Structure 1
């Protein structure tokens, strides 16, 4: 059995829901991912005995994340529209 390795993936542009559901596809069935902060940057700690993510795979995760976030926004009604929150008139 291969040794487990852990590495940091910057989280900018990657949805947690997407990376958690897709990580086993890219890195093998034993791969796990969790939110992690490294040197002040938010991202993910990937632990696997399989191959590490390539730049192309990370870009695929970003593209899938963008599509996921757009679907979520439409489903929840948050499509670049102002939402009134406790409007007060100035005197």
Structure 2
């Protein structure tokens, strides 16, 4: 069995939920992914003994992430599809 390799994957356009669910499909059953910051860029640290992600696989992850985010947005607000819509939060009042 090959030794595990770790590499940084920039996170732009990739949802954390999607990559964590699909990484084993793309890189093998022993693949692990976690949030990581490299040289000030947010992304993911992928650790696997299998082959690294190809450009096509990364594009698939980005497409799945777009679909996932749109689905989550529709679920939260059926009338308007806006990914970064403000969410009202009830504020507590102080007692004197």
| Pair in the same fold by TM > 0.5 | yes
Question: Which runs of 5 or more structure 1 residues have no equivalent in the other structure?
Answer: 86-91
1:32 maps to 2:32: yes
Encode CA deviations 1:66-90: one digit per residue, 9 max, x unaligned: 00000000001162377778xxxxx
> Per-residue deviation at 1:37?
0.2
Counterpart of 2:2 in structure 1 is 2
Encode CA deviations 1:6-63: one digit per residue, 9 max, x unaligned: 0000000000000000000000000000000000000000000000000110000000
Return closer, same or farther for 1:79/1:51 CA change in 2, 3 Å cut-off: same
Partner Cα separation in structure 2 for residue 8 and residue 56 of structure 1:
17
RMSD, matched Cα: 1.8
Partner Cα separation in structure 1 for residue 42 and residue 86 of structure 2:
28
Flag as ranges the 4+ runs of structure 1 deviating above 4 A: 81-85
1:79 to 75, 78, 81: 81
Matches within 5 A, 1:1-91: 1-77=1-77, 79-80=81-82
Question: Which runs of 5 or more structure 2 residues have no equivalent in the other structure?
Answer: 90-96
Partner Cα separation in structure 1 for residue 33 and residue 3 of structure 2:
16
SS at 2:3 equivalent: coil
